[in-house]
Amino acid sequence: MLKVVPEVDVVATRRARWSVAVLTILIGGAGYAAVLPEDRADAMYHSYDGGGLEVTGPSYLIRKGFKDKVSAWSNYYVDSISSASIDVVTTASPYNEQRDEVSAGLDYLHGKTFMGLSFTNSEESDYTANAVRFGISQDFFGDLTTLGVSYARGWDTVRNNSDATFEEDIDRQSYRVDLSQIITRNMVMSLNYEGITDEGYLNNPYRSVRYADQSSDLGYSYQPEVYPRTKTSSAFAMRGRYFLPYRAALSGEVRYYTDTWDVDAYNIEVGYTHPLWERWVIELRYRYYDQSAAEFYSDLFPRQDYQNFLARDKELASFSSHTLGAGITYQFGTGLMPFFKRGEASLFADYLQFDYDDFRDLRDAGAAVGDEPLYEFNSTVLRAYISLWY
């Protein structure tokens, strides 16, 4: 999954809804090559389990082209969320909810110019997210170079299930530039930039910060978070893929993120794809991520109303993560599916380890205030796909 926001579980955060929407749009949006995607149908089932959070659900995508000029697609995506994460068990009660997301789009090919327009709506009990995106790309220099630009606009509504009068808005804009280049017949490189501006209610209405309070039996008390109402972020990435003589491939990525909340992050990823026999393909990958804390974040503030902006969201803390991933794909022909051209069935698994530098585990009741053990957790992500081309 992705991200143009600091890492941490995208499916678990309100602010990440924008990234999820844009990611879903990109499933059917401009692929930055002057070729229409083939007609296909996809089904996916995903599962996330880690840190007291469980997320499961299906996703369905269908695409159909018309006269080699236009391709239409639609996607339906569901998250069933059960949360007893550390934030929930220390300040609130576990909860269950469902998020439903619907996307649709059109892609148009004219000569070497590819254009895509799409819309996404995401609904849950206390959050509504909408996004529209337009992208255009053009091939140059004998189709060795592709330049793509895109713009996305999002508008969200934040509600609070415990306060029927609470309602806040968020406006988002995203600008993206992609440049890909065929270096040799075996090597492809790409450079990417994305800028996002957020304005409105950017924190979580359920989340609190803690501050030192000698009058409390715990030694600390809580007050609501207060965030700035604007944020601008930028992400730069360089990716490459090298095809080996025996049909295998090496891939790599370096990415840097920064924003006006003083969060800086980078990740490095390497991958290897290897064919087995004629129909099987295995994939392996490793990813390292590191992030600094936001300027207004603290695990424990010295007193109530210590500063104008206050956050204790672990997504804004300093932390690092390691990801080990593996996948296997089976490619089959019309013998198994006589009404389709071909198909693929895939299973991917990721194991993630998160280590926090300044977010503490308050479940250790015997620890001194401010000296609780640093929080860490593991998680697993499973994704099963089937794709059919027709």
What is the reported pLDDT for 7?
42
Closest CA to 87 of 363, 366, 365: 363
Greater model confidence, 83 or 160 = 160
Q: 81 is written with which tokens?
A: 């969320």
What is the reported pLDDT for 28?
41
Contact partners, residue 165, CB within 8 Å, separation at least 6: none
Could you read off the pLDDT of 170-228 as tens digits, one per residue? 999 999 999 999 999 999 999 999 999 999 999 999 999 999 999 999 999 999 999 99
Is residue 267 classed as helix, strand or coil in its secondary structure? Answer: strand
What is the reported pLDDT for 33?
52
- Can you tell me the mean pLDDT for 109-136? 96
Q: What is the DSSP string of 145-200?
A: EEEEEEEEEEEEEEEETTEEEEEEEEEEEEEEEEEEEEEETTEEEEEEEEEEEEEE
Mean pLDDT across the chain: 90
Q: Taking the C-alpha atoms of 354, 357, 363 and 366 in order, what is their torsion angle to the nearest 10 degrees?
A: 140
Q: 27 is written with which tokens?
A: 């499933």
Could you read off the pLDDT of 296-342 as tens digits, one per residue? 999 999 999 999 999 999 999 999 999 999 999 999 987 777 778 89
Q: Rounded to whole angstroms, how far apart are CA atoms 194 and 14? A: 20
199 in Cβ contact with 223 (< 8 Å): no
What CATH number was assigned to the domain covering residues 10-389?
A: 2.40.160
pTM score of the predicted model: 0.89
Contact partners, residue 245, CB within 8 Å, separation at least 6: none
What is the reported pLDDT for 20?
40
pLDDT band at 5 (very low <50, low <70, confident <90, very high): very low
What is the reported pLDDT for 95?
82
Closest CA to 288 of 193, 196, 369, 352: 352
Q: 256 is written with which tokens?
A: 């840097």
| Percentage of the residues of the chain whose pLDDT score is greater than 70 | 91
Q: Rounded to whole angstroms, how far apart are CA atoms 322 and 269? A: 10
Whether pLDDT at 55 is above 80: yes
Residues found in the chain: 390
297 in Cβ contact with 309 (< 8 Å): no
* Structural domain spans, the chain: 10-389
Could you read off the pLDDT of 225-236 as tens digits, one per residue? 999 999 999 999
